[in-house]
Structure 1
């Protein structure tokens, strides 16, 4: 028996406490909710679809774009974050713009640029404290400074 309290696993027991509400999981799997760190799309759709697939939370991902456009997109996400019906949006994953065009895959190479701590700080402010993951190219100019900036602020980093 898995005991849930306030949306979290509180205990694993052999029997349910007296008076507890029980739900049979016979023939099914019981697992904690998954967190998807890399989802693209409109937050409302992503939230609903992620929940259907077993995720209870996600990071919404934005790719390389012009500086002003990225700021606008982050602002739009902040407005929408309170109206989601499904998995919870834990914040933002910026996949770029500080990427290496030689390794950029299908992302817009024309929007990739050298890392700038000043621009990164503006993006983080626009995310209103919800920048959680930053994908960047450490080998590009400014990459190491951006990594240090992220580390000091608790933003997870990954390379591309």
Structure 2
């Protein structure tokens, strides 16, 4: 069965297609046509969005949970509810992100996540798809640990990482690591050899130590500015290194709480349109009322959008669609640039840009429909509407 989607515009890479008509067959994009206004108005369409823009579905590479569930639960129910919620916010794919926990708890969670990731790969659905694990911890700085439990942090260890890798059945796709720690460069090189992308974060690194991490293979930075050595004009530190190193991709949490809008603008001027990645660092409280929630094994108090544990910021309740809107508001970026920061750029960093992040013929029809104000109207995953 062929279904068609008509809209006002479609973002195709760096180009805007006016009056698009998208044909979908067997879950893939069969064709993208640009019609004249009169033909577009009369063309038969299964789904019609007269004022909307079709964009690639979003890809959140750093998220701990939402809708009352934490990815560390690693159960079918938790992943189902998380995926369903994310799809309503325009997200087509995500990396369930761990938090530093007791070793056995981490191994259990990685095993459970691996099972659910394999299921999702074999059975596409109208839920956001977990594409792999983002391992955040335990190889983090004690000085810049954020809310990660100090006593559970570990020195970088290839042996320990390999235990995690085996438990996850090779599904670890991204790892946050502090590059200044002993043996960090060796672990970065080892993980990179396995196809894992390494991201520098939760770090007190000086410039030379960040450079060592990059030379070992790190290609990204985790929630830039947060849990990092602060900018200083005599010892610039890792944050300045991230801004200056053009080859590095860099995450930013664009909720107006984690990073002031002025710093978001400076970040964007430094990283540019091709290296900026919007993430949420969302936790189980996302989409839920004020209250007490869990982040891994830690209790987090959530009040009016701010998540804290013993006074320290602990993740967010940001959704990626709101992050896109905020980014445009804070920086003046256009919709194509903001959308790329939530879709194409993370896909490129992760090495999966041949399958995710752009709308092209023969690709799976993972499409988010945005109103003129960039609110999510509908999400199509493998050509099927996710929002009833």
TM class by shorter-chain length? 0.7 to 0.9
CA contact (8 A) 1:57 1:87 kept: yes
- Corresponding position of 1:78: 114
Question: Aligned partners of 1:136 and 1:123: how far apart in 2?
Answer: 14
Question: Aligned partners of 1:101 and 1:9: how far apart in 2?
Answer: 48
User: Is it true that 1:55 corresponds to 2:91 in the alignment?
Assistant: yes
Q: TM-score, normalised by structure 2?
A: 0.38
- Corresponding position of 1:37: 61
Question: Aligned partners of 2:194 and 2:56: how far apart in 1?
Answer: 28
- Corresponding position of 1:102: 143
**Cα distance, 1:106–1:5 mapped onto 2, change above 3 Å:** farther
- Corresponding position of 1:145: 186
**Cα distance, 1:117–1:45 mapped onto 2, change above 3 Å:** same
Shift of 1:23: 2.0
Alignment equivalent of 2:50, drawn from 22, 26, 32: 26
CA contact (8 A) 2:102 2:152 kept: yes
- Corresponding position of 1:65: 101
Unaligned stretches of 5+ residues in structure 2: 1-19, 65-69, 71-77, 202-388
Shift of 1:75: 1.4
Which shifted more, 50-59 or 61-70?
61-70
1:58 match: secondary structure: strand
Q: What's the CA shift string for 1:94-143, capped at 9, x where partnerless?
A: 00110001011122222111000011111011111211000011100121
Question: Aligned partners of 1:159 and 1:110: how far apart in 2?
Answer: 21
Count of residues in correspondence between the two structures: 158
CA contact (8 A) 2:114 2:171 kept: no
CA contact (8 A) 1:47 1:87 kept: yes
**Cα distance, 1:5–1:159 mapped onto 2, change above 3 Å:** farther
Q: TM-score, normalised by structure 1?
A: 0.87
Shift of 1:4: 4.0
CA contact (8 A) 1:147 1:157 kept: yes
Shift of 1:29: 2.1
Q: Comparing both chains, which one has the higher relative contact order based on Cα–Cα distances under 8 Å and sequence gaps of 6 or more?
A: 2
Question: Aligned partners of 1:110 and 1:7: how far apart in 2?
Answer: 47
Alignment equivalent of 2:32, drawn from 12, 16, 24: 12
**Cα distance, 1:8–1:108 mapped onto 2, change above 3 Å:** farther
Which shifted more, 51-60 or 21-30?
21-30
Q: Which has the larger radius of gyration?
A: 2
CA contact (8 A) 2:132 2:172 kept: yes
RMSD, aligned CA: 2.3
Question: Aligned partners of 1:33 and 1:106: how far apart in 2?
Answer: 30
